[in-house]
Amino acid sequence: MTLLTVENLTKTFHTTNGPVHAVRDVSFEVERGECLAVVGESGSGKTTLANMILGILGSTSGEIRFDGAALPAKRTATHRRAIQFVQQNPLSSLNPKRSIGASVRLGLDTYGIGIRADRWRKVEDALEEVGLSRDMRHRAPSALSGGQRQRVGIARALACEPELVVLDEPTSALDVLVQARVLRLLNDLRARKQLTYVFITHDLAVVRNVADRVAVFKSGQLIELGRTEQIFSAPEHPYTRNLIGAVPVVDYAELQLRNKLAEET
């Protein structure tokens, strides 16, 4: 069942150096409950695409439909609540002068979720769900590690009970061990709360292990879209093949896969 439809979406920026075609005529669908990875290097348009889905940017042309209905440029509170955002940078995404509880609570207050007296409890519930202790809601972001801050960002998104979560490089700024745990957390939460993810990243190894389907972007265009296993075992587009081939690998099995893909070029 389709949750999000992107149809002929285009975004052109007009700069002093001429027009920049950040996203060109992109169309795809996101099924309810799946994790769709959006993969690309810098300049691929993946961040611009995410910003348009989130309503931060308007499109130049094309349409985005959510649950069947077109999403207007000016979003309603219902839409905003249903589509939440997890950012890349855990340090910058939390207000250093506010407690993390206050940051998580913002969505609840803005959307009027529950009665006011109940909201701190909901905040604490959200923190507990991402593996943090309830009393952490009083702490300042500076007292938390990068991994903990990123969990707070996830709690903030999930506290509003959204349907779709856009995650922009959610683990790229984290250490290896921390990343592993946060990725597992994201997988668990998606299954448990029946969420849908649009997972933007440049890290193909992560994609291979979290995504159901992969959309590969280059220079604003969608060049390949398919199921994860398919894309990694038999990529069609040479760009995709090169991208997979450039990933530094750790074990022998990966090396074999990479060599196999290189031979088929």
Partner 1 sequence: MSHLLDIQDLHLAFKGLKGVTEVLHGVDLNIAAGERVALVGESGSGKSVTARIVLGLLQETRNARVSGRVAFDGVDITAMPLRDRARLRGTEMSMIFQDPTSSLNPTFTIGNQFAEVMRRRDPGLDQTACNVRAIEMLAEVSIPEPARVLANYPFQLSGGMNQRVMIAMALVNNPKLLLADEPGTALDVSVQAQTLRLMHDLVEKHHTAVLFISHNLGVVREFADRVYVIYRGRIVETGPTDAIFHNPGHAYTRALMDAVPRITGAGLPEVPEVSDDFLAPMVRHEGGAS
Partner 2 sequence: MTHALRIIAANPLSLTGLILVLAIVLAAILAPWIAPFPTHNTAVVDFIYANSAPNGRNWMGTDLVGRDIFSRILYAYRISLGLGIVVLIIAAPIGTIVGLLAGYLGGWTESMLMRLVDVFLSIPPLVLAIAVLGVLEPTLTNAMIAVTVMWWPWYARLVYSIARSEREEGYVLAAEVIGAGTPHIAFREILPNCLPAIITKMTLDMGFVIIIASSLSFLGLGVQPPTPDLGSMVAEGARYLPDSWWMTVFPGLAILFAVFGFNLLGDGLRDVLGADE
Residue 5 or 150 having the CB closest to partner 1: 150
Partner touching 84 among partner 2, partner 1, none, CB below 5 to 8 Å by kind: partner 2
CA–CA separation, 151 vs 170, rounded Å? 10
Handedness of CA 72, 76, 81, 82 (dihedral sign): negative
Element (H or E) spanning 215, and its range?
A: strand 213-218
Distances (CA, A) of 48 to 13, 71, 74, 153: 10, 16, 17, 20
Cβ neighbours of residue 198 closer than 8 Å, sequence gap 6 or more: 4, 30, 36, 38, 50, 53, 164, 165, 166, 167
**Could you tell me the smallest distance in angstroms from the CB atom of residue 47 to partner 2?**
12
Bridge partners (DSSP) of residue 167 are: 86, 199
CA dist., res. 52 & res. 148, Å (int): 28
Report helix, strand or coil for 219.
coil
Structure tokens at 45: 């348009």
Which of partner 1, partner 2, none does residue 257 bind (CB under 5 to 8 Å by kind)? partner 1
Q: Least CB distance from residue 155 to partner 2, whole Å?
A: 12
Verify binding: residue 178, partner 1, rule CB under 8 A. Answer: yes
80-119: which residues touch partner 1 (CB under 8 A)? none
Taking the complex as a whole, the smallest distance from the CB of residue 224 to partner 2 amounts, in Å, to: 29
* 156 belongs to the binding site for partner 2 (CB under 8 A): yes
Position 230 contacts partner 2 (CB under 8 A): no
Q: Nearer Cβ to partner 1, position 16 or 69?
A: 16
**Three-state DSSP class for 33?**
coil
Chain positions 181 to 220 lying near partner 1, rule: CB under 8 A, are 181, 183-184, 187, 202-206, 208-210
Which x/- pattern, by CB under 8 A, does the window 161-190 give for partner 2? ------------------------------
How far is residue 239's CA from residue 81's CA, in Å, rounded to a whole number?
A: 36
223 is a contact residue toward partner 1 (CB under 8 A) = no
For residue 159, the minimal CB distance to partner 2 (Å) is 10
- Of the candidates 31, 2, 29, 36, the one whose C-alpha atom is nearest the C-alpha of residue 214 is 36
Interaction site with partner 1 (CB under 8 A): 41-42, 146-147, 175-181, 183-184, 187, 202-206, 208-210, 228-229, 232, 242-244, 246-251, 253-254, 257-258
Interaction site with partner 2 (CB under 8 A): 54-56, 75, 77, 80, 84-85, 87, 89, 91-98, 103, 106-107, 110-111, 153, 156, 160
